[in-house]
Amino acid sequence: MAEDRDRILKTMITEDELSAIEARPELKKDYRTEEFWMNVGPQHPSTHGVLRLVLKMDGEVIVDCVPQIGYLHRGLDKMAELKTYNQYLPYLDRADYVSAMLTEHCYVMAVEKLAGIEVPERAEYIRVIVSELNRIASHLVWLGVLSLDLGAITPFLYCFREREIIMDLFEMLCGQRLTYNYLRFGGVAFDIDEAVNPNAPHKFLGITVNPGGERGVDFTTLAYRFAEVFPDRVDDYEAILTHNEIFLERMAGIGYLPLDVALSYGVTGPNIRGSGFAYDIRKVDKYSIYEKVYNGTGIEPPTGEKGDCWDRYKVRIQEMRDSCKMIKWCLDNIPDGPIRSKVPRVLKVAEGETYMRIEAPRGEFGIYLVSDGTNKPYRLKLRGPSFSNLSVLPYMIRGYKVADLIAIFGSLDVILPDCDR
């Protein structure tokens, strides 16, 4: 025990923290076997990147947990102060690389708000389309990895098969598959009409689009077809997971997150909706054209009832279906027009401060931007949803088993670069 303690002390937990843990009221000593410390990560198959959880265990039961983050800290806040507004944009892709379009969207909107830049409506539509596509891609990563963590390997590959289509779509659009750098101040970089895949007919795993088409498949056709077909694929995932008794056993009734706790910890996104609170920033803040989208499609944010892993899972599954509807609606109603407004090459933002937030796949992704009137931000604070979502983990996993830790952590959908920034 002493050895373990020393070793863990050497690697970052402070003395205070350790004594705080050891002073916690413990269970009755009668049936308690010897407790021991265990390290999960930073290199562990299911910590999704480099997270380290220091667990205090009693057999397989977790008594306490201290998450250690910062392994991916790259100082994105500091970097913003050293780069101009334009230069900083590509860095944002690295904040949450699974949903880079959405982080870009947030930053671009924050700067536009502060600099008073108007955005053409067509560009807003395109932004929503790519955002929702990226949300589906992000949820697919979550679903695949969650099922992988629970031991089901096949759904993981199914999910990535569909994600591949989205990646291809983005590649057609901006040439990148992960870090897009696609959005611009005052619009987007390229029009979706210009996005064409010359390798026609394009066949994506059964989705045959525009067979024999001469100029290849264009983005609109393929994205629309994808939005049509994807709900069937979600049915497939549900067939292999939702209707599986073992999966249900592993997810239902595990990792309760009561609503007041979630609010107190600042948990956002599908996690808080799983706790029964329809708090969707797309709907609440009505940024971009989301008000129209919600009115047009009549979608209501899905909510869970109990706040266990199962509810969070169901919420995300439903969100994927909803996103498809949104994409279809946007593609149906997209107006013609310019995709970018005139923005000076050297952008100087007026003095002031603002907070802009969006509904990222993991929750509230916010940017607090302070400008001093120069071409560089004076202070830029990224509020990553994973940071707050992860901080509630110790609360949630106390008293559960290691196997449940995997399910709970998986259901929270934490992305470490987003957490460490």
Partner 1 sequence: MIAGWINSCYESIRNWWVACGIPLVWLDIIRAILLGIVLAIIVVVAVLILTYVERKVAGHFQSRMGPMRVGWHGLLQPIADAIKLIQKEDIVPEKADYWVFTLAPFVVFVPVMMVLVVIPFGDHLIVQDLNIGILYIFAVSGIGVVAILMGGWASNNKWSLLGAMRSVSQMVSYELPLILSVLGVVILAGTMSMGGIVEAQRKMWFIVYQPLGFIIYLFAATAEVNRVPFDLPEAEQEIVAGYNTEYSGMKFAMFYLAEYANMFIVSMIGATLFLGGWQGPLLPSPVWFLIKTGAMVFILLWFRWTFPRFRVDQLMDFGWKVLLPFAFINLLVTALVVII
Partner 2 sequence: MTGLETEEILSAIVFYLLSGVVVGSSILVITLRNIFRSALFLLLAFFATAGLFITLDAEFIAAVQVLIYVGAIGVLILFAIMLTRRIQDPVAKSTTRSFILGAFVSAAFLFFLILILGKIYLPPFPETGADTEGITKGIGRMLLTYYLLPFEVVSVLLVGALIGAVVIARKEEARGGEPPEVALERERKDREITDSKPDGNGLEQNDRKH
Partner 3 sequence: MALKEIIEKKEIEGVVEIEETPHLLILWFEPDKIMDVIGILRDDSELSFDWLSFLTAIDMKSHLDVIYLLYSTKHKHRICLKTSVKRRHGSIKSIHELFAGAAWHENEVYDMFGLRFEGHPYPRRILTAPGMEGYPLLKDFHSPDFIVSGGVSRKPEKFREK
Residues 239-298 that bind partner 1 (CB under 8 A): 240-241, 244, 246-247, 249-250
Nearer CB in complex with partner 1: 227/405: 405
Contact 333, 352 (CB under 8 A): no
Q: Which helix (H) or strand (E) holds 326?
A: helix 309-333
Q: Which stretch binds partner 2 (CB under 8 A): 22-30, 153-161, 223-231, 379-387?
A: 22-30
Both structure tokens of 372: 């001093």
Among 120, 213, 258, 266, binds partner 3 (CB under 8 A): 266
Both structure tokens of 358: 């969006």
Question: At closest approach, how far in Å is the CB of 203 from partner 1?
Answer: 13
Among 11, 154, 295, 374, binds partner 3 (CB under 8 A): 11
- Residue 316 CB contacts under 8 Å (≥ 6 apart), including other chains: 139, 142, 143, 270, 413
Question: At closest approach, how far in Å is the CB of 236 from partner 2?
Answer: 31
Q: How far is CA 194 from CA 102, 200, 314, 316, in A?
A: 22, 15, 36, 32
341 binds, among partner 2, partner 1, partner 3, none (CB under 5 to 8 A by kind): none
3-class SS at 66?
strand
Closest alpha carbon to 110 in 398, 380, 389, 355: 355
* Binding of partner 3 by 97 (CB under 8 A): no
| Residue with the two structure tokens 């292999």 | 240
- Residue 301 CB contacts under 8 Å (≥ 6 apart), including other chains: 273, 278, 279, 280, 282, 283
Closest alpha carbon to 137 in 330, 296, 362: 362
259 binds, among partner 2, partner 3, partner 1, none (CB under 5 to 8 A by kind): partner 2
Nearer CB in complex with partner 2: 375/391: 391
Q: Is the CA virtual torsion 274, 279, 280, 283 positive or negative?
A: positive
Contact 409, 386 (CB under 8 A): no
Nearer CB in complex with partner 1: 21/152: 152
- Residue 231 CB contacts under 8 Å (≥ 6 apart), including other chains: 321, 324
Among 75, 151, 211, 337, binds partner 3 (CB under 8 A): 75
Taking residues 383 to 402 in sequence order and writing x for each that binds partner 3 by CB under 8 A, - otherwise, the string is x---xx--xx--x-------
Among 60, 235, 353, 399, binds partner 3 (CB under 8 A): 353
Q: What is the DSSP string of 367-412?
A: EEEEE-SSSSEEEEEEE-HHHHHHHTHHHHHTT-BHHHHHHHHHHH
Whole-angstrom Cα distance, residue 146 to residue 129? 26
Nearer CB in complex with partner 2: 35/124: 35
Both structure tokens of 229: 């077909």
249 binds, among partner 1, partner 3, partner 2, none (CB under 5 to 8 A by kind): partner 1
Among 18, 44, 177, 258, binds partner 1 (CB under 8 A): 44
* Binding of partner 3 by 23 (CB under 8 A): no
Contact 223, 273 (CB under 8 A): no
Residues 134-173 that bind partner 2 (CB under 8 A): none
Q: Which stretch binds partner 3 (CB under 8 A): 74-82, 130-138, 200-208, 337-345?
A: 74-82
Return residues touching partner 3 (CB under 8 A).
11-14, 16-17, 20, 69-70, 73, 75, 77-78, 81-82, 113-114, 261, 263-267, 277, 279, 284, 352-355, 357, 364, 366, 368, 370, 378-379, 381, 383, 387-388, 391-392, 395, 420-421
Return residues touching partner 2 (CB under 8 A).
27-28, 30-31, 33-34, 36, 61, 258-261, 264, 276-279, 283-284, 303, 395, 398-399
